[in-house]
Amino acid sequence: MQKTLAQVKVNVNEEGYLTDFNQWTKEIGAEIAKEQEVEMTDKNWKVIDYIHDKFRKEEALSIRGIKNSGVINIKEFYKLFPGGPLKKATMIAGIPKPKSCI
């Protein structure tokens, strides 16, 4: 299905995750963050950059991986992306929901 984010039509699945990473832009990520009630700061964007890097390398994402990333500690991760940090962060990043979140 399609949804308009940042004045652009994007393809999303029934949960709201982008189905085509190539459609992602920072503006679209910011719109998704607003919908998820996440206020994006520089630290949030560093986490998104880390997630993008892992995704491009086709490496699995997990809470443990974020914890060991050196980018953020786990308490901060939960604080920056409250109510399901890995789900929200990956949705904002425009990548598929990690298998560890299913």
Q: Which of 44, 53, 101, 102 is catalytic?
A: 101
27 is catalytic: no
Exposure string for 46-82, b = 16+ CB within 10 A, e = fewer: ebbebbbebbeeeeebeeebbeebebbeeeebbebbe
Report the C-alpha gap between 73 and 49 in whole angstroms. 15
List active site positions.
101
